Amino acid sequence: MRTFPPYRAQVVTEIPITTRAERERALAAAGYNAFNLPANMVTIDLLTDSGTGAVSAAQEAAATAADRSYAGSDSFHRFRAALSELTRYPHILPVHQGRAAERILFSSVLEAGKISLSNTHFDTTRANVELLGAEARDLPCAEFGDLDSSEPFKGNIDLDAVERLLTGPERERVGMVLLTITNNGGGGQPVSMANLAAASRLCRAHGVPIFLDAARFAENAWLVVQRESGYRDKTPREVAEEAFGLVDGCVASLKKDGISPMGAFIGLNDPELAQRCETNLIATEGFRTYGGLGAHDLDRVARGVHEVLDPNYLAARAADAARLADRAAEAGVDIVRPAGIHALYLNAGRLLPHIPASRFPGHSLACELYLQGGIRCVELGSLYLGTLDEDNELVTPAPFELVRIALPRRVYSQAHYDYVTDVLADIAKNPESVPGYRIVDAPKILRHFNLRMAPA
């Protein structure tokens, strides 16, 4: 089937075109850390799909007409109506972004010594569990570990492992189960409805609450329609509604599938839990009808969650990701299979075997994409996940050395993505010329945002 984006550009933003010499200077000044680069030195910015989507004219019109009343604004009522229609949760709490939702919900559900089980906790999610003195335990399914396997639902949680925990000696420590759809920490792979339903049955049988981290609820729904038998004739909206209905509530950053620059929400069935979260919300985020959000973003979200479920939009976005994956493979760069939607994960360890984990092949590839093409993306390998000694030398490497190329929503055209794979192909022609990197300075906490590196 031929697909194309169901929108056209009316307002555009110029992107910076730089020379190799300028990029070399900028990257050195940034301590070889892409998070330190000024955005005006980046040509194609694939650092994240979060808050970077292009808003529609309808969203901007709604934002202009937003109601900034402190309490009970019309904008909040539109926000709540859109999200309660989608999720059917009676309690919808707005917050400024996903990690605030995590902090507020988890502090009402977990405490020191408890365990949160997940297919994979995203990094801020893990941090918000650990800040409470609780443990974030990832239980991805077995296929998750095979980067080349084309299993359709590598985002699934390992149900046997969940059952063992819920029937074993650690049962009392399990405070919640959190399913991340799609699994961002795990290659952007989807979770099947069968897995979600089975996890939910297990949790209900053992009296443990189960929530979704639903940042990419629409993309997960699209992949379910494409890949899961029994769902082929459903709309993405029907699948998303069913997913929300299988669990007790959710946290969701709306900077992804809300196509909003800012925003998130907590959705809950349990009135008593919602009450506790609301108290925390008012004390730390803002009143319950804005939760730290500007009214304009409440209205952008109300439209965004509707637009994101358009099958024509999802088909075109998935086609962009699939084409990028095919072209990367043609260029000789392996990716985590099968291609998801929000990002492509490049197997840098395999492309750059001459660089040991201790010299960070993922980071090397990310730097090379910037130096050769002005493309910004992020390492997901030993720099991010490995453990270091006192001298910042790698002690335990990550299981994989990956680079994430995230796709902002409705922003870049296929010509931009073809440029990205052309640059990748150039790198893949001469991979031995790519240098490794060593750490010059790394803070103990959240190091990938702040570290400084140098070519090894």
| The pair of three-digit structure tokens given for residue 245, joined into one six-digit string | 């209905």
Q: For residue 155, which of 135, 166, 137, 139 has the smallest C-alpha distance? A: 139
Q: Is 74 a catalytic residue?
A: no
Residue with Cβ nearer ligand F0G (213 or 299): 213
Phi/psi at 273 (5° precision): -65, -40
Which of 184, 260, 364, 382 lies at the binding interface for ligand F0G (CB under 6 A)? 184
Closest distance of CB 456 from ligand F0G, Å: 27
Are 46 and 369 contacting, i.e. CB atoms less than 8 angstroms apart? no
Task: Name the residue with the smallest CB distance to ligand F0G.
Answer: 98
* Residues in Cβ contact with 73 at an 8 Å cutoff, skipping those fewer than 6 apart: 66, 67, 289, 290, 295, 298
Which of 48, 116, 195, 200 lies at the binding interface for ligand F0G (CB under 6 A)? 48
d(CA 427, CA 111): 48
Which contiguous run of DSSP H or E holds residue 225?
helix 217-227
Q: Is 123 a catalytic residue?
A: yes
Closest distance of CB 184 from ligand F0G, Å: 4
* Amino acid residing at 161: A
Give CA 98 to chain center in angstroms: 10
Which of 18, 59, 156, 180 lies at the binding interface for ligand F0G (CB under 6 A)? 180
Of the ranges 91-99, 273-281, 321-329, 393-401, which one interacts with ligand F0G (CB under 6 A)? Answer: 91-99
What order do you get walking across the sheet with 378-380 strand by strand? 343-347, 402-406, 378-380
Which of 79, 89, 106, 122 lies at the binding interface for ligand F0G (CB under 6 A)? 122
260 contacts ligand F0G (rule: CB under 6 A) = no
Which of 45, 135, 138, 213 lies at the binding interface for ligand F0G (CB under 6 A)? 213
Q: Which of the following is catalytic: 67, 74, 123, 334?
A: 123
CB-based burial label for 112 (10 Å; 0-12, 13-18, 19+): exposed
Q: Is 256 a catalytic residue?
A: yes
300 contacts ligand F0G (rule: CB under 6 A) = no
Q: Which of the following is catalytic: 215, 218, 315, 321?
A: 215
Q: Which of the following is catalytic: 65, 70, 422, 449?
A: 70
| The pair of three-digit structure tokens given for residue 142, joined into one six-digit string | 């077995």
Rg (CA), the chain: 22
* Residues in Cβ contact with 197 at an 8 Å cutoff, skipping those fewer than 6 apart: 246
d(CA 173, CA 149): 34
Q: Is 297 a catalytic residue?
A: no
Which of 110, 259, 264, 352 lies at the binding interface for ligand F0G (CB under 6 A)? 264
Of the ranges 121-129, 230-238, 283-291, 381-389, which one interacts with ligand F0G (CB under 6 A)? Answer: 121-129
220 contacts ligand F0G (rule: CB under 6 A) = no
Of the ranges 92-100, 159-167, 308-316, 434-442, which one interacts with ligand F0G (CB under 6 A)? Answer: 92-100
98 contacts ligand F0G (rule: CB under 6 A) = yes
Residues that bind ligand F0G (CB under 6 A): 48, 50, 97-99, 122, 124-125, 180, 184, 213, 215, 253, 255, 264
List residues with catalytic annotation: 70, 122-123, 213, 215, 256, 448
